[in-house]
Amino acid sequence: MEQPKLETRVKNIIEVDGLKFKDLNGNGKLDPYEDWRLPYEERAKDLVSKMNLDEKVGNMLINTRRTGYNTPEGGETSHDGIIDEEVIEQGATIFAMRKVWGTTYTIEDLHIRHFILRDNFSPTELARWNNKLNEIAEGTRLGIPTITTSNPRNDNGEFVFGMNDAMGVFSTFPATMGLAAAVLGEKALGKDGQLFTDYAEAARIEWKAAGIRKGYMYMADVMTDPRWQRTYGTFGESPDLIVDAMERIVQGFQGDELGPDSIALTTKHYPGGGPRENGFDPHYVEGKWNVYATPGSLEKYHMPGFKAAIKSASMMPYYSAPSIEKSVVQKLDGIDVPFEEVGFTFNWYLIEEVLRKRMGYKGYINSDSGVTDNMCWGVEDLDRPGRFAKAVNAGTDLIADTNNVEDLKEAVERGMISMERIDEANFRLLMEMFQLGLFDDQTYVDAEAADDIVANSPGWEIAKDVHRKSVVLMKNSNKTLPLADGTKVYVQMWHKKPEVSEQKTAEAREQIGSVDGLVVVDKPEDAEALILMVDPQSGDYFNATPGLLELTICENKPLKAVDGTPYTETTVSGAEEFRQMARDGRERGQKVIISVNYSLAWIIDDVEPLADALIGSFHSFFDAQGEVIAGKFKPQGKLPITPPGTEAAIAVDENGVCVSPNDVPGYDKQQYMPEGLDYAWTDSDGNVYKLGHGLTYED
């Protein structure tokens, strides 16, 4: 075993047997946990034996941590403005219900070592920040390092807290469903899912350069309820595709086993967040239930992705609880699942019996954010120490987005959690740090090199390719596409927010205007073809809509809330202007090309008839769509979901039961539909918009 290149900034390096080691506890001698020659297991056990209770409970919490660059003007920072030291009397999000302390106090006094990064700064700035966190941690009693995690940073899209916190700094791919669309296209051509591997291996280089060593990604969830707000972050509805994605992505980020070059992944949201009760999200009480109304749905559709991700460093259970009243008995391995109506973080049977014992899972369990505060479904009547105890005793090792060390410690002191269980959780958590090399030569990264490493990542070129391959040609009447060279096109984008519509229109015109063969004009009447792009938005996954989530392209649409109160909903501002422009173009004899951005499973029964050519995109770059339109790239993307064809296909009766089952993916829903009602949409050319649909120019 070769001598690692060790760096310390506070503690000393000692020499033993001609070799160098970090003296992390400052006692002047080599302890087993400091000895890089020993097995990780031996080192982790030794360190656990040296930790006091305060250090152990601190290590079992992970909290959002702002950088000093993001501290409000006048706020307190340290280390040349890199570290945020501001104290916030009340938590700034729905997750943080307690006082937020500055970074140094959080590390030194609360003993927290796991942090969630949501800031979006340059790789070098992020690397400097991570280095400073570890410098502070190195100065503590045992010198236990910090580890930073993040939600995905390589996806294009809109900023959404907790889902798309950061983008544009690392190589930028289409949204997750776009990656799925591209891979489905590759497979239709007889290729495999190599794009998943290429993506993960490139992104790993970028994350490591910035010192971000853990990722809250990816979602192994199967989208089965089209109104689910988190459809955006899934790979769609195909369990087979998701299995391939998870196997390749875990391998690409982590390698054969977790090591110094790995990014440790947290696969979410076990055992699958797809079977929503009519789309309501468990960030709020209306969405607390997972509903399994169909025999066998849990095992057939929702579990395969998690089995494929069995090597991921950690698993994140979903907020929701399984509804006994609204579900039928589900079996796993031929055995009835004894549903307990508590959030999956608190569900001992599914974590310990199923995930660990039957599936052989060896990593740790990382809760979703706020499970001991706002999203504590099924355990609302317990006090906070009781909620911590219920989660930890169910097998959860790391409680997310809280700094509440007091209540976790109280649960231990009251005998609600055994020290054996606390030690087990800490062993699992420390194992990850040791395997990643954070105690040895990976504590600090070369911050000054980070920008160049990311700029020269192969991810940028791979991403360009994936953007093109993600574009789905859904309809192409009379061979509308590709457009002839020199075609004059008018381009406009519609979004829910008018100011975003204006901004995105300018971006689309510039990018599409850069495509060889297309000439962008300023007025629709001067064009030979209209490229009309809609990017609908619906709801907020932190707050319930008054009624069911709206999936049509609409503006000020009259609706009724769950309680019967009337209200209106808009998914696209200027929806009628968009439709009228399409109608006018058809009347003038212009070709009308409509692009729909699928962040949710939009219903387009009154949009498709307006189009000569219809494109599905997934936050795919505008120039990539332009290249397909101009024939510079032959379309090959395939739909990763089956969008409902009409509102009737997802109608909900007075008892809250949907006509199409919430726990079955779209490609399989037809067998459950009433006679005479189709789930998928069939367009005017006879194309059925279902999983795997996508035309080529040869079709």
Confidence of residue 88 (pLDDT cuts 50, 70, 90): confident
Tens-place pLDDT, residues 441-481: 999 999 999 999 999 999 999 999 999 999 999 999 999 99
First and final C-alpha spacing in the chain: 59
Query: CA–CA separation, 418 vs 442, rounded Å?
Result: 33
| Cis amide linkage into residue 640, ω under 30° from 0 | no
Average pLDDT over residues 200-214: 98
Tens-place pLDDT, residues 119-158: 999 999 999 999 999 999 999 999 999 999 999 999 997 7
Give the tokens for residue 383. Answer: 């006090």
Average pLDDT over residues 512-518: 97
Q: 357: how many CB neighbours lie within 10 A of its CB?
A: 11
| Short-list 93, 112, 107, CA closest to 409 | 112
Query: CA–CA separation, 569 vs 555, rounded Å?
Result: 6
Query: CA–CA separation, 167 vs 393, rounded Å?
Result: 37
Q: 99: how many CB neighbours lie within 10 A of its CB?
A: 12
Does the pLDDT of residue 641 top 90, yes or no?
yes
| Residue whose pair of structure tokens reads 């190589």 in the numeric block | 171
Residue 62: what pLDDT?
A: 97
pTM for the model:
0.96
Residue 89: what pLDDT?
A: 78
Residue 91: what pLDDT?
A: 57
The H or E element spanning position 402 is none
Residues 6 or more apart whose Cβ sits within 8 Å of residue 316: 216, 266, 267, 268, 269, 270, 365, 366, 367, 368, 400
Tens-place pLDDT, residues 358-415: 999 999 999 999 999 989 999 999 999 999 999 999 999 999 999 999 999 999 999 9
The H or E element spanning position 84 is strand 83-84
Average pLDDT over residues 564-588: 97
Phi, psi of 534 (to 5 degrees): -120, 135
Residue type, 416: M
Pick from 74-83, 160-169, 253-262: least confident: 160-169
Does the pLDDT of residue 161 top 60, yes or no?
no
Residue 402: what pLDDT?
A: 93
Does the pLDDT of residue 96 top 70, yes or no?
no
Cβ distance 395 to 425 under 8 Å? no
Confidence of residue 34 (pLDDT cuts 50, 70, 90): very high
Phi, psi of 316 (to 5 degrees): -110, 115
Could you please report the per-residue DSSP string of 546-571?
SSSPP-B--SSEEEE-TTS-EEEE-S
The H or E element spanning position 121 is none
Does the pLDDT of residue 243 top 80, yes or no?
yes
Could you please report the per-residue DSSP string of 224-291?
-STT-GGGGGS--S-HHHHHHHHHHHHHHHH-SS--TT--EEEEEEET-S--BSTT--TTSGGG-EE-
Cβ distance 400 to 216 under 8 Å? no
Mean pLDDT of the chain: 96
Confidence of residue 202 (pLDDT cuts 50, 70, 90): very high
| Short-list 170, 66, 168, CA closest to 118 | 66
Confidence of residue 164 (pLDDT cuts 50, 70, 90): low
Residue 166: what pLDDT?
A: 66
Residue 92: what pLDDT?
A: 54
Residue 308: what pLDDT?
A: 98
Query: CA–CA separation, 241 vs 463, rounded Å?
Result: 19
Cα 327 off chain centre by: 27
Query: CA–CA separation, 129 vs 122, rounded Å?
Result: 11
Q: 164: how many CB neighbours lie within 10 A of its CB?
A: 21
Cβ distance 135 to 447 under 8 Å? no
| Residue percentage of the chain with pLDDT more than 70 | 98
| Short-list 490, 5, 76, 590, CA closest to 260 | 5
Query: CA–CA separation, 325 vs 109, rounded Å?
Result: 45
Does the pLDDT of residue 95 top 60, yes or no?
no
Query: CA–CA separation, 662 vs 646, rounded Å?
Result: 16
Confidence of residue 287 (pLDDT cuts 50, 70, 90): very high
Residues 6 or more apart whose Cβ sits within 8 Å of residue 583: 610
Residue 192: what pLDDT?
A: 98
Does the pLDDT of residue 418 top 80, yes or no?
yes
Q: Which residues pair with 399 in a beta bridge?
A: 61
Does the pLDDT of residue 271 top 70, yes or no?
yes
Residue type, 411: A
Between helix 447-455 and helix 194-210 the angle, nearest 10°, is 160
Burial (CB < 10 A; 0-12, 13-18, 19+), residue 212, is: buried
Residues 6 or more apart whose Cβ sits within 8 Å of residue 175: 155, 156, 157, 232, 233, 599, 618, 619
Cβ distance 35 to 21 under 8 Å? yes
Phi-psi region of 265 (alpha: psi -120 to 50; beta: other; left: phi over 0): beta
Residues 6 or more apart whose Cβ sits within 8 Å of residue 412: 53, 57, 419, 422
The H or E element spanning position 206 is helix 194-210
Query: CA–CA separation, 227 vs 277, rounded Å?
Result: 9
| CA distances (Å), origin 619, targets 183, 187, 399, 614 | 16, 21, 32, 15
Average pLDDT over residues 297-306: 98
Residue 159: what pLDDT?
A: 61
| Residue whose pair of structure tokens reads 């974590």 in the numeric block | 351
Q: What sign does the dihedral 432-435-437-439 (CA atoms) show?
A: positive
Residue 165: what pLDDT?
A: 67
Domains and CATH numbers, the chain: 44-455 (3.20.20.300), 472-634 (3.40.50.1700)
Q: 94: how many CB neighbours lie within 10 A of its CB?
A: 18
Burial (CB < 10 A; 0-12, 13-18, 19+), residue 29, is: exposed
What is the Cα gyration radius of the chain?
A: 26
| Cis amide linkage into residue 269, ω under 30° from 0 | yes
Average pLDDT over residues 31-57: 98
Residue 541: what pLDDT?
A: 77
| CA distances (Å), origin 544, targets 285, 444, 568 | 8, 43, 14
| CA distances (Å), origin 398, targets 352, 401, 613, 665 | 15, 10, 49, 31
Give the tokens for residue 12. Answer: 């000393």
| Short-list 595, 571, 548, 597, CA closest to 497 | 571
> Helix or strand or coil: residue 32?
helix
Burial (CB < 10 A; 0-12, 13-18, 19+), residue 415, is: exposed
Average pLDDT over residues 74-91: 90
| Residue whose pair of structure tokens reads 């991403």 in the numeric block | 463
Query: CA–CA separation, 13 vs 5, rounded Å?
Result: 11
Give the tokens for residue 435. Answer: 């395997």
Confidence of residue 98 (pLDDT cuts 50, 70, 90): confident
Q: 686: how many CB neighbours lie within 10 A of its CB?
A: 7
